[in-house]
A and B are shown apart, each in its own frame.
Chain A
Amino acid sequence: MTQRVNPKVEPERVIELEEVVLEGMDISGHWNRMFEQRVIWDYDVDAMDRIIDLDGGESFGWCYQCAQCVAVCPVDHVGSYGPRKLVRWVQTGMDLFTSPELWLCTTCANCLRVCPKEVNLMEVMPAVRKEAVMAGHVPAELQDVFEKTARYGNPLGKNPKRRHAWTKGLEVEVPLISDLGRKVEVLWWVSDYPAYHPRGIDASRALARVLHRLGVDFAILGPEERHDGDSMLRAGEEGLFEMLAEHNIEVLNRYEFDVLLTTDPHAYNAFLHEYPKRGGTYNVVHYSRFLADRIDELGLTEEISQKITFHDPCYLGRHNGEYDAPRELISALPGAELVEMWRIRENGYCCGGGGGGMWLDGHAADHQRMRLSEKRVLEAVETGADTLCVVCPYEVSRFEDAVKSTNNDGRLQVLDIAELLAQAMGLPTD
């Protein structure tokens, strides 16, 4: 649609519509070529006021343009976007509420980590997106997921009655807590992708076998479980989040359990920070921590002669401070070598799936040179690792796609830590 007409002209500032007919006159192609305005004629301060007047939007006005955020914003590495730039664009009049830029932030929280003024995009983005959602300014692919989630209780639009179908044919039992009619030690919050996505199911079945081998008294909710809603909240669908949280809390409060075990760091985050505000307080543990605390009981005997690199999920690491558990587990795998990427732990690079990004890949592709997941996979390949280990169910599919799209098929496999553990424990595979 646009073309480079002169090396001195920035191509993104050239506007040229492929086909235009104006009052019967065909002015397609270069006949309608225009250049974006260079001079700033005015500063529309209303654009910023509308954001800082929102609950949660206040800190957007605190930025003093130090620009530390830009170096750690994962989106900036693949496009022209960056938190301080976003602030400045808004200060000069950009309407964030209707802008495509609104949907690029993955709420990975790396900008907040380095921000001296504590500009908190994890609060700003949901606040602005909430208004955009109410006004109907939502990318279609995300709107579709909102609707599926509202209707089916999961963003994949799968049959809610078959949420526990992944347990079929397993040689170990994965009981529904409603069938047990008693208190369990561990209630496993499986989440959507581990219940429905083929690769998520692989990890779930591995984790079921691991828990069984550990002798853990556990059960799942099955059809009673719905999407935790955390990512919907970050994506601005607060109403949907409230609906899901209300349902989930009502269900959870029906049962007795000591530990709420989550596979998904986003669910973990919701149970830690959002559900308690709404009457749902649980002893929530991420499965990486649960298993790391039981390393000696796992019986890791089989050699895993692989170089393994590990990707920190934003909502487990930066958001909730757990960096060690997955690394403890990887380091305990017999014969395995943990090789780290260059951006890890507090500075871990985002996979692109947070804050609604999971369902905005099309939108992101229009505004970024490459997917964040592709960037991350290239970093993983750079380490010489055979395996990219993940502990977030958003990631297996994202990274496997990225392995293919970056032509690294056969060079790097993506495995959930549960799959690696099951292998090292000599457990059956499907």
Chain B
Amino acid sequence: MGSDRLLVIGAGPAGLEAARLAASLGSQVLVVEKRDVAGGMPIHENYAALTHGFRDAGEAMAELIGAVTSHPNVELRTSTEVTAVEGSVGEFTVTLSSGTGDDTVEAGAIILATGFQHFDPGRETQQYGYYEFPDVITLADAEAMLKAHNFVRPSNGEVPERVAFIQCVGSRDRQIGNEFCSKVCCGISSKQAIEVRQQVPDARVFIFYIDMRMYGYWENEIYWPAQEQYRVNYVKGIVTEILSKNGRLLVRGEDTTMGRPMEVPMDIVVLAVGMEPSLGTRKMAEMLGVATNKYGYIETPHGELDTVATSVPGVFAVGAATGPADLDDSISSAGAAAAKAVALLRGAEVTV
């Protein structure tokens, strides 16, 4: 075996957790992050509170970043990209590029933690007028406003009276090509609905959905409190289109439980955009030659009992690089990948 170093690509929650665990198991870890700060989407997209425990995102991520950077076995390089990979399991040669020039490092195993990007609701269709109406925003936009405690109509800075969330934007859609459920949006919309009600108590919040996918404890920890304590109104039936009328947004669709057409004015409409593989995920997959599925996510082809090994020996993938994942999923897969990678570096047999 050439190198006993583990390379983690991506310093989001999954990458950081994989690095922390591998380091604490005694391995040398190099974490490479293309952005200038670690923390991944929760930091980059200004998350307010984490789903599902409502913990402050900045605080939680700072703790994780601190655990990684303070560990003597870890080196974290930000503003650094992987530009070439050669070799195979046990002896990868990786070229890293940064503002200060190129560098070559050896690694025995690689963990891909390159994550997702939010679906751009203006990309495929202008059904909801995301590019047209300033008050039509995405979950990520709303998250940033909530973090700043400034949840107002982008068009005029006014406090909204009516806020609507539209679920499944860019997910579960054959025409768009994302046939999968993005798994987290129902929970995040409901979490944000609660935060809107906390920050703007006079605003009323509506969530238009196909079916609420609040699996596990999200049901009782998010969905039920949103409905019962915060009086969020759940309306079954996805909005078909958004029009502008008298300076407000008119959401049009069917209230399916009433069996009647619905045209209701709103001040802010939040599109619950789903996940897509990030550009980094696509690029790294191609560079490393790991198989991806038709949606561009990295495949973990070994079935339910090995969720982190890819088609290339010595290369593991974690978190939302392999498909829609919430934080719990990402942290769990990071742990699994760290353990398997460390075992591999030590020459232990790990069967899958």
Q: Which residues of A line the B interface, CB within 8 A? A: 38-43, 45, 48-49, 52, 58, 61-62, 64-65, 84, 88-89, 91-92
In whole angstroms, what is the CA distance A421 to B209 when docked?
58
Residue B174 at the chain A interface, CB threshold 8 Å:
no
- Complex contact B263–A41 (CB within 8 A): yes
Chain B residues with Cβ below 8 Å from A61 are 227-228, 231
Known: A65-B236, A88-B257. A45 touches B262 (CB 8 A): no
CA A314 to CA B327, docked complex, whole Å: 48
Give the distance in Å from the alpha carbon of A41 to the alpha carbon of B252 in the complex. Answer: 10
Contact A40 B228, beta carbon cutoff 8 Å: no
Q: Does B206 contact A (CB under 8 A)?
A: yes
Asked whether B120 is an interface residue with its Cβ less than 8 Å from the other chain, the reply is: no
Given the complex, which residues of A lie within 8 Å of B227, measured CB to CB?
A: 61-62, 64
**Neighbouring A residues of B206 by C-beta, 8 Å:** 43
A38 engages B228 (CB within 8 Å): no
B234 interface residue per 8 A CB criterion: yes
Q: A45-B204, A65-B257 are in contact. Are A91 and B233 (CB under 8 A)?
A: yes
Interface set, chain B 238-277, CB cutoff 8 A to A: 255, 257-258, 260-265
Which chain A residues lie closer than 8 Å to B204 at the CB level? Answer: 43, 45
How far in angstroms is the closest Cβ of chain B from A40? 4
Minimal beta-carbon separation of A94 from chain B (angstroms): 11
Asked if residues B263 and A62 are in contact (CB atoms below 8 Å), the reply is no
Question: Are A43's CB and B228's CB within 8 A?
Answer: no
Q: How far is the CB of B223 from chain A (nearest CB, A)?
A: 8
Which residues of the other chain, B, contact A52 by a CB distance below 8 angstroms?
A: 231
Q: Which residue of chain A lies nearest to B253 when distances are taken between CB atoms in the complex?
A: A40
User: Across the interface, which residues of B come within 8 angstroms of A92, CB to CB?
Assistant: 255, 258
3 residue pairs, one from A and one from B, having the closest CB atoms: A40-B262, A39-B261, A88-B257
Shortest B229–chain A CB gap in Å is: 9
Is A42 touching B260 in the complex (CB atoms < 8 A)? no
Cβ contact within 8 Å between A42 and B233: no
A43 to B258 CA separation, bound complex (whole angstroms): 12
Cα separation A49 to B262 with both chains bound (whole Å): 21
Interface of chain B: mostly helix, strand, loop or mixed = strand
| In the complex, chain B residues 208-236 whose Cβ is within 8 Å of any chain A Cβ | 212, 224, 227-228, 231, 233-236
Residues of A within 8 A of B257 (CB): 65, 84, 88
Interfacial chain A residues near B233, Cβ < 8 Å:
43, 45, 91
Q: Smallest CB-CB separation from B205: which chain A residue?
A: A45
The smallest beta-carbon distance between A51 and chain B, in angstroms, is: 11
Whether A38 pairs with B231 at a CB distance below 8 angstroms is no
Question: How far does the Cβ of B267 sit from chain A's closest Cβ, in whole Å?
Answer: 13
| Residue of B with least CB distance to A58 | B228
Residues of A within 8 A of B255 (CB): 40, 92
Nearest CB of chain A from residue B120's CB, rounded to whole Å: 29
* Chain B: interface residue total (CB-CB under 8 A): 20
The answer on a CB contact under 8 Å between A42 and B265 is: yes
Besides A65-B257, A84-B257, 11 other A-B contacts (C-beta < 8 A): A38-B260, A39-B261, A39-B263, A43-B264, A45-B233, A48-B231, A49-B231, A52-B231, A61-B231, A88-B257, A89-B258
A201 to chain B, nearest CB (A): 48
The reply to whether A39 and B262 contact each other, CB–CB distance below 8 Å, is yes
Return chain B residues, CB-CB under 8 Å to A38. Answer: 260-261
* Contact partners of A91 in chain B: CB under 8 A: 233
Expressed in whole angstroms, the Cα–Cα distance for A49 and B263 within the complex equals 22
Q: Which B-chain residue is minimally distant from A62 (CB atoms)? A: B228
A–B Cβ pairs within 8 angstroms, 29 of them: A38-B260, A38-B261, A39-B262, A40-B258, A40-B260, A40-B264, A41-B263, A42-B264, A42-B265, A43-B204, A43-B206, A43-B233, A43-B235, A43-B264, A45-B231, A52-B231, A58-B228, A61-B227, A61-B228, A61-B231, A62-B227, A62-B228, A64-B212, A64-B227, A88-B257, A89-B258, A91-B233, A92-B255, A92-B258
Q: Considering the chains assembled together, what is the distance between the CA atoms of A126 and B204 in angstroms?
A: 27
Q: How far is the CA of A92 from the CA of B255 in the complex (A)?
A: 10
Given A43-B233, A52-B231, are A88 and B258 neighbors across the interface (CB < 8 Å)? yes
Contact B231 A40 (CB under 8 A): no
A49 (CB) vs chain B CBs: closest residue: B231
A65 to B207, CA, bound (A): 14
A52 to B227, CA, bound (A): 12
A142 to chain B minimum Cβ distance, whole angstroms, is 29
User: When chains A and B are docked, how far (Å) is the Cα of A230 from the Cα of B58?
Assistant: 56
A60 vs B123: C-alpha distance when bound (angstroms): 41
Residues of A within 8 A of B260 (CB): 38-40
Measured CB to CB, the closest approach of chain B to A412, in angstroms, equals: 38
B187 vs chain A, min Cβ distance (A): 15
A92 to B235: give the CA distance in the assembly, Å.
10
Contacts of A84 in B (CB 8 A): 257
Between A49, A52, A62, A92, the greatest number of chain B beta carbons within 10 A of the residue's beta carbon is seen for A92
Complex Cα gap A168–B332 (Å): 81
A86 to chain B, nearest CB (A): 12
**When each residue 288-332 of chain B gets 1 if its CB lies under 8 Å from chain A and 0 otherwise, what string results?**
000000000000000000000000000000000000000000000
Would you give the shortest CB distance from A102 to chain B, in whole angstroms? 19
Contact A40 to B236, CB < 8 A, known contacts A45-B231, A61-B231: no
Question: With A and B bound together, what is the CA distance between A48 and B231 in angstroms?
Answer: 9
Question: What residue in chain B is nearest A37 (Cβ atoms)?
Answer: B260
In the assembled complex, how far is the CB of residue A10 from the closest CB belonging to chain B, in whole angstroms? Answer: 10
Query: Which A residues are in CB contact (< 8 Å) with B261?
Result: 38-40
Min Cβ gap A64→B in Å is 7
Q: Which residues of B contact A62 (CB under 8 A)?
A: 224, 227-228
| B264 CB, nearest partner CB in chain A, Å | 6
Q: Please, how many angstroms separate the alpha-carbon atoms of A313 and B265 in the complex?
A: 48
Chain A residue numbers with a CB within 8 Å of B236 are 65
Q: State the CA gap A48–B235 with chains docked (Å).
A: 14
Chain A CB within 10 Å — which of B257, B261, B264 has the most?
B257
Docked Cα-Cα span, A61 to B230, in Å, equals 10
Complex contact B258–A64 (CB within 8 A): no
Q: Which residues of B contact A89 (CB under 8 A)?
A: 258
CB distance from A81 to the nearest CB of B (A): 14
CA distance A48 to B228 in the complex (A): 12
A170 to B15, CA, bound (A): 90
